[in-house]
A and B are shown apart, each in its own frame.
Chain A
Amino acid sequence: MCGKTTSLMFLNHQLPASQRGRFISLETPTERTLYFDFLPVITEARGYKFRYLLFTTPGQDYYEASRKLVLKGADGIVYVVDSQKERTAENLSSLSLLEKNLAEMGQRPDLLPTVIQYNKRDLSSAVPLDEAEKKYNPKHLLSFPAVAKTGQGVYETFLTIAKMALTKLTTPDGESRMGDMFKTTVITGEDGIKMRTQLARLNEDSGAKGSLLVDESSSLLATHGEIPSKDFETLGALLACNFTAAQELAFHMSGQGFTGIIQKGARWNMTASRVDKRRFLVVLCDSSVDRRRLDNAVNYARGTLAAALMQIDRMSPSRLAQFGSVFTSVSRIAVASMGGV
C-alpha cells in the first residue's frame, strides 16, 4: 500500500481524455493490486505519436510470479517507497526483490532507466529525506518526494521516467546490451501491409472473424477483420498480459510452454498461439469454425509471420539509428507537451 495505484489514478484523474486511454485496475476485493493497473498515456509532437503504457505491479509477496511478468519488457521503472518509518523493512525487502526479479529475467538493473518516488511525504511518521536517500538510493538515482493522493510529485516523476525511457532508445549501446525482450521493433508502413495481408489470408483460410498479432510488450503489431474493440492500446495490453500469465502458469505446471490458449465466450472464441519468442497470434472466431481447419491455417500463418518478423528484427537496429536524432529532439517536447496537470 505504498501508493503505486494511487499515483496512476492521479494521472488518470488529471490528464485530459485526449491524452490517456482507459484506466484498468485489476485488484483484489481488498484493493490490493492483483496483477496490474494500467494506464496508456498518449502524446503527439512534431508529427510523431508517443504512447506510454504505464503499469503498476502487485506489491505483496504472494503475487511475485505476476509481478515478474509485468516487469518483463519494461522500458523504465518507478520504484515507489512508502516514506513511513515503520515501512522501512518492507521497502528494503521489496527493493531487493525487484533487483532479484530483474536479474532472474536476465535484465541488468543498471541499464534500465529507474527513478525513485518517495511517497507519503505529508505524514508525520515520514523518515527525513536525507535518511531515505541513504537507505534506499545508494546508486544516486533521480528521486522525487511525493504525496500520491494529492498528486504532488507524481507528474514530475512520470515526466522524468518517460523522458529517460524515450532517451534510452537513442543510446546505441543502451539497448543492444539488453536482452531480446528489450529490443525495439521498428515497423514500416510496408511491413504493416505485409503482415495484414498474411492475417487476411489466415482469416480466409480458417473462417475466422478477425486476427491480431501482438507483441509481449503490449503492442498490437497488426490486426485484420472484425475486432469488436477499437481501443487498441487497452486490447494490446490485456492480450499481452493474459498471454504472458498463461505462459508462466504453464511453466509452473510442467516447465514447458503451451501450444495454445482457448477462451470461450457466448459469441466469440479466442485462441492464442506463439509466433516467436516475443509475439503471438490471436484469432477470433465463432464456435461453428472447424477446429482442424483453424489449426492448419494458424500453423501456416505462424510460419510466415515468424519469417516476416525475423526480417523486421534484423532491420530494426539500422532503422532505429535513423530515428535516433529525431527521438532526441522530440523527447523534450513530447514529455513537456502533456498539458492538463
Chain B
Amino acid sequence: MAPPIQAGDTNVGFIFTQNQRIQVGRLLDGFVDGLAQSSSVLIDRAGRIAEIARKPVGVNLHAVSALAAGCFATTHELAAAMGEAEYSLLFQHENEQQVYIWPVADRALLVVIMRGLAGVQTLEDRLTGAMGTDLTRVVMDAQAPVKAVPPPRVTPPEVPVEVRHRTRALTALIMDLQTRRPEDFTQDVQSGLLRSREQLVQAMSKRDWRKAWEICEGTRQWLLMQMKMSQSADVGQVLIRLYKEVFDALHATIMTTAAQDRTRILYLSFFRFLSRKWPKFYSSDRFLSMKGVDVGGLWEAGRAVIPDSVQLSSEFIPAMDALVRELLRVIYLSKGKDGRENAMKDSNTILEKYNLELLPFGLETSVGREWTLISQN
C-alpha cells in the first residue's frame, strides 16, 4: 500500500493515501461532469483545500475555501438552533453563478461552483446517489492527523472574598471617575494605573492575596490623591447621607403617631438593644434622640475603632440596617401593614437614588421586601 500523503494544502484535517487521492479526484470530476463552467473543491471543516477538480480561473480559492468553511460553520450552528441535523447550502449569484456547499461525513465540505440553475438537480442527484456515498466513505476512511488533547483553557483561581470585593470596588471607582472626570485621567495617571494593574496581575498570578489586597488599597488612595479628592469623599460620606435621609423619613412617620416622650423611650430601648450587638457604633445614647438619628456621630464613633472606611462600612451597614428594621417594626405596630409598606417604599426610593454613588465602592443597593438592602459586590 502506498504511504499516506497529505494532499493539497498543509494541515488538512484528514490524510489521504495516494489511492484515495486518485479516487477522490475521479469523484470530484464526476460530480461536475457535463455541468457548465463548473469546478468542485473538497475542503476540510477548517477550510483547507484537500482536492480540486477543474480549478476555476481568477478565483482566490484559499479565501473562498476559508469563507465557505466559516459560512458552513454558522450554518451548522443555525441548523442546531432550528432543530435540524444539517443544512446544505446553495448560493445564487447575480450572473447566474451558483455555489453549492455539501457536508461530507462530518469532516469535509464539497464546494461546487457552476453556472445556471439547470445543473442543480443533476448535482443533487449525484450527491445523494452512489457517487456521494463513495465520497463519504473515502473521506471517512482517510487517516486523521495526530491530535494532542489540550489542557482546559479556563482555570479561574479561588480568589478570597475580601480581595474580590476590593478589586471590584477599585474597578468600579476607576470606571466611575473616568466617566465623571475624564479630563483628570492624564497620561501620567493612565501609566500609573497600568503599572499598578500589572503589579496586581502578578500578585494574583502568584496567589499572593495579601499583596493583591495591599495593591488595591494603595491604588485607591493614590488615585483619589491624583484626582485631588479628599479622603473624606469616601464611602462613609455617601452612607451617612443615605442613612440620614432614610432615618429622617422614618422618624417623621413615627412622629406623626407617637408623642415626644414616647419617641424618646422608643429610641432609648433601641439603643439598649443595638448597643449590645454593635457597641462600636451605638456607644452613646446621644446618637439616638427624639430629634432623630445622628448618623454622622455613629459613623465617627465606629471610625475611632476602625480607621479604614471601607472596612468600617462593612460593619456599619448591618448596624444601620438593624435600626431601620426596628423603626419599621414600630411603624407596623402603630400604622399597620399599609403604613409599613409606604415607609418601605419611601426608603426604597432613597436607596435607588444612591445606587450610582455606591457603585464605585463596590456596594449596590437592592430594593426588596426585606431590609437587607445594601450588599457588597
Checking B13, B62, B90, B94 against A261 with a beta-carbon cut-off of 8 angstroms, the contacting residue is: B90
Asked if B311 is at the interface of the complex by the 8 Å CB criterion, the answer is: no
Task: Provide the residues of chain B in CB contact with A159, threshold 8 Å.
Answer: 171, 175
Asked if A142 is at the interface (CB within 8 A of a chain B CB), the reply is yes
| A229 CB–B CB distance under 8 Å | yes
In the assembled complex, which residues on chain B have CB atoms less than 8 Å from the CB atom of A241? 70, 74
With A and B bound together, what is the CA distance between A150 and B113 in angstroms? Answer: 46
Q: Cβ of B3 < 8 Å from any Cβ of A?
A: no
Query: Does the CB pair B71–A259 fall under 8 Å?
Result: no
> Is the CB–CB distance between A144 and B355 below 8 Å?
no
Q: Which residues of A contact B293 (CB under 8 A)?
A: none
Q: Are B190 and A140 within 8 A (Cβ)?
A: yes
CB neighbours (8 Å) of A149 from chain B are 153-155
State how many angstroms separate the Cβ of B170 from the closest Cβ of chain A: 9
State how many angstroms separate the Cβ of A120 from the closest Cβ of chain B: 10
Smallest CB-CB separation from A335: which chain B residue? B175
Q: Contact check: which of A156, A235, A259 meets B197 at CB < 8 Å?
A: A156
CB-based contact A145/B201 at 8 Å: yes
Chain B nearest Cβ from A117, distance in angstroms: 11
Please judge, given known A-B contacts A65-B67, A337-B364, whether A140 and B187 are in contact too, CB under 8 Å. Answer: yes
CB distance from A59 to the nearest CB of B (A): 13
- What 0/1 pattern do residues 44 to 76 of A give for CB contact below 8 A with B? 000000000000000000111110010000000
Query: B72 to chain A: closest CB distance in Å?
Result: 9
Task: Name the interface residues of B202-243: CB closer than 8 Å to any CB of A.
Answer: 202, 204-205
Partner of B95, one of A145, A167, A256: A256
Q: Which residues of B contact A235 (CB under 8 A)?
A: 78, 81
A259 touches B198 (CB 8 A): no
Most buried by A among B69, B70, B113, B359: B70
Interface stretch (choices A23-31, A85-93, A97-105, A191-199): A23-31
> Would A249 and B205 count as touching, CB distance under 8 A?
no
Task: Please report the C-alpha to C-alpha distance between residue A311 and residue B94 in the assembled complex, in whole angstroms.
Answer: 27
B73 within 8 A of A: yes
* Residues in B neighbouring A263, C-beta threshold 8 A: 75, 78-79, 87-90
Q: Is B166 an interface residue (CB 8 A)?
A: no
Given A336-B359, A337-B359, A337-B364: A29 in contact with B46 (beta carbons within 8 A) = yes
Contacts of A249 in B (CB 8 A): 64, 67-68, 71, 91, 99
Whether B92 pairs with A151 at a CB distance below 8 angstroms is: no
The answer to whether B90 and A264 touch across the interface, beta carbons within 8 angstroms, is yes
Instruction: List A contacts of B87 (CB < 8 A).
Output: 263-265, 270
For chain B, the bracket of interface size reads 35 or more
Are A270 and B78 in contact, CB atoms less than 8 angstroms apart? yes
B83 at the interface (CB under 8 A from A): yes
Among A9, A10, A62, A121, the residue within 8 A (CB) of B205 is A121
Interface centre among A144, A145, A153, A339 (most CB of B within 10 A): A145
Residue of A whose beta carbon sits closest to that of B197: A145
> Cβ of B377 < 8 Å from any Cβ of A?
yes
Q: Most B CB atoms within 10 A — which of A9, A140, A149?
A: A149
Q: Given A9-B154, A262-B90, are A26 and B73 also a contact pair (CB < 8 Å)?
A: yes
Does A107 touch B at the CB level, under 8 Å?
Answer: no
Residues in A neighbouring B179, C-beta threshold 8 A: 163, 167, 331-332
Is there contact, CB below 8 Å, between B147 and A252?
no
Central interface residue in A34, A160, A228, A335, by most chain B CB within 10 Å:
A34
Q: Complex formed: what's the CA distance from A200 to B359 in Å? A: 45
Residue in A6, A26, A239, A267 whose CB lies within 8 Å of B83: A267
- Nearest B residue to A340 via CB reads B377
Q: Is A268 touching B195 in the complex (CB atoms < 8 A)? A: no
Query: A residues within 8 A CB of B89?
Result: 246, 261-264
Binary interface encoding of chain B residues 342-365 relative to chain A, with 1 for a CB under 8 A from any of its CBs, else 0: 000000000000011001100010
- A30 with B67: in contact, given A239-B78, A259-B94 (CB under 8 Å)? no
Q: From A228, which residue of chain B is reached at the shortest CB distance?
A: B82
Q: Which residues of B contact A156 (CB under 8 A)?
A: 171, 197
Contact B81 A228 (CB under 8 A): yes
Collect the chain B residues with CB atoms within 8 Å of residue A253's CB. Answer: 56, 59, 64, 93, 97, 99, 113
Given A29-B45, A31-B150, A143-B194, check contact A250 B93 (CB 8 Å). Answer: yes
- A122-B201, A145-B197, A258-B93 known; A24 and B154 CB under 8 Å? no
- Please determine whether A29 and B147 come into contact, CB atoms closer than 8 angstroms: yes
Give B163 Cβ to nearest chain A Cβ, in Å.
Answer: 11
With a cutoff of 8 Å between Cβ atoms, the chain A residues found around residue B84 in the complex are 265-268
Tell me the bound Cα distance from A143 to B153 in angstroms.
23
- Cross-chain contact of A238 among B47, B56, B81, B187 (Cβ < 8 A): B81
Q: Is B77 among interface residues, defined by CB-CB distance under 8 A?
A: yes
Q: B64 touching A252 by the CB < 8 A rule?
A: yes
Chain B residues whose C-beta falls within 8 Å of the C-beta of A252 in the assembled complex: 59-60, 63-64, 67
Query: Which residues of A have CB within 8 Å of B68?
Result: 249
Is A176 in contact with chain B by the CB < 8 A criterion? no
Instruction: With CB as the reference atom, state the residue of chain B lying closest to A227.
Output: B82
Q: Which of B131-155 contact A (CB under 8 A)?
A: 147, 150, 153-155
Q: At the interface, yes or no: A280 with Cβ under 8 Å from chain B?
A: no
What residue in chain B is nearest A162 (Cβ atoms)? Answer: B175
- Which A residues between 251 and 286 are near B, CB-CB below 8 angstroms? 252-254, 256-268, 270, 284
Q: Which residue of A234, A336, A341 is within 8 Å of B176 (Cβ)?
A: A336
Residue B86 interfacial (CB < 8 Å)? yes
Report the separation of the CA atoms of residues A289 and B48 in the bound assembly, to the nearest whole angstrom.
Answer: 36
A245 interface residue per 8 A CB criterion? yes
Whether, in the assembled complex, B130 has its beta carbon less than 8 Å from a beta carbon of chain A, the answer is no
A contacts, CB < 8 Å to B? 5-6, 9-10, 13-14, 24, 26, 28-32, 34-36, 62-66, 69, 121-122, 129, 133, 140, 142-153, 155-156, 159-160, 163, 167, 228-229, 231, 234-235, 238-239, 241-242, 245-246, 248-250, 252-254, 256-268, 270, 284, 331-333, 335-337, 339, 341
Supplied contacts A5-B153, A228-B82, A256-B95, 6 more A-B pairs, CB within 8 Å: A65-B66, A140-B187, A142-B190, A246-B89, A254-B93, A339-B364
Query: Can you name 19 A-B residue pairings with CB atoms under 8 Å?
Result: A6-B154, A29-B45, A29-B147, A63-B70, A66-B66, A129-B195, A148-B154, A150-B204, A163-B175, A245-B67, A245-B71, A252-B63, A253-B97, A258-B91, A264-B88, A265-B85, A265-B87, A332-B359, A336-B360
The 5 closest A-B pairs by CB, nearest first: A35-B70, A28-B46, A265-B84, A245-B71, A122-B205
